[in-house]
Amino acid sequence: MKQPGGMQGAAAGLGEREFREVRELARRTFGLDLKPGKEALVHARLARRVQELGLGSIAEYIEAVKADRTGLELERLINALATNHTSFLREPQHFALLRERILPELAPRASFWIWSAGCSTGEEPYSILFTAAERLGARLGAMRLLATDISTRALEKAQAAIYPAERLQGLPPGWPQKYFQRGTGRWEGSVRVKPEWRARVDFRRLNLMEDFSFLPRMAVIFCRNVMIYFDKATQERLVRRFEDRLEPGGWLLIGHSEGLMGVRHGLEYVMPAVYRKPAA
């Protein structure tokens, strides 16, 4: 059956050579390790963009990405390939640790930084913020919260902070009223983080493959469900750079399905998905 926009060519357009090229581009520019077997996913994600641009094939699309000096099409490619899946209080053990151990330790300090690296659409940094607000009360102002992602599309959503109301299911009692406003009229069924809370998160675009040694030393780095897409060598380089950005005694929290097996680093293992830089 003929599909609109010359899709016949694109549908048959992800050969071995194209997959290798996309794989190499993704690995070089943002660390993504597209394993063989991901062809169907890559194909589905890119075919849509080929159609939007009215191109004839994925091979043509790859050429267009390479030729685009603005880098915008490369960013779209990244947006199409990376998954932004996330949720409030995802992996709740980390938030229990934050509440019961990390924040009480940090509470007496005049200031400290927490970084959500790969923050996607914002649920992770807002969960950190609300947990800290509950625990620190009037001392919340000591916490600086940085949230970064490579995807500008995810960051726009994070800053807008509008979510379907059902995403709040499972949050502690009182949180929805305290931290969110309910949409009305056209926004019925949506909720939005209240502006005074949105203003407390510093959202920035940052590709973790690029230099971040200019960032301040962090008390806690959340980098969860991001490294899962990177190969071991890339993970190791990144963990070492995180280590450099942690203050002595600082914490690195990674996704529970990630693990740093086979990755050489100087951090102490605390519990699954929790590491700590040795105190000075």
Catalytic residues: 45, 149
Q: In the bound complex, what is the minimum distance in angstroms from residue 9's beta carbon to ligand SAM?
A: 29
Q: In the bound complex, what is the minimum distance in angstroms from residue 154's beta carbon to ligand SAM?
A: 5
The torsion region of residue 105 among left (phi > 0), alpha (psi -120 to 50) and beta comes to alpha
Q: Does 86 bind ligand SAM (CB under 6 A)?
A: yes
Q: Among 51, 84, 152, 181, which residue sits at the site for ligand SAM (rule: CB under 6 A)?
A: 84
Strand 268-271 vs strand 218-223: parallel, antiparallel, or unpaired? unpaired
240 touches 225 (CB < 8 A) = no
Determine the Cα–Cα distance for residues 160 and 162; give it in Å rounded to an integer.
Answer: 6
Short-list 204, 202, 162, CA closest to 183: 162
Q: Does 28 bind ligand SAM (CB under 6 A)?
A: no
Q: Does 226 bind ligand SAM (CB under 6 A)?
A: yes
Which amino acid makes up residue 186?
R
Contact positions with ligand SAM (CB under 6 A) in 61-80: none
Instruction: Tell me the per-residue interface mask from 139 to 158 with ligand SAM, x by CB under 6 A, - otherwise.
Output: ----------xxx--x----
Q: Does 115 bind ligand SAM (CB under 6 A)?
A: no
Q: Among 209, 253, 260, 267, which residue sits at the site for ligand SAM (rule: CB under 6 A)?
A: 209
Nearest residue (CB) to ligand SAM, 59 versus 274: 274
Q: What's the chain's Rg over C-alpha atoms?
A: 21
Helix and strand numbers, DSSP H then E, in the chain? 12, 10
CA 32 and chain centroid, separation = 13
Binding residues (CB under 6 A) for ligand SAM: these are: 30-31, 82-86, 90, 118, 120, 124, 149-151, 154, 207-209, 224-226, 255
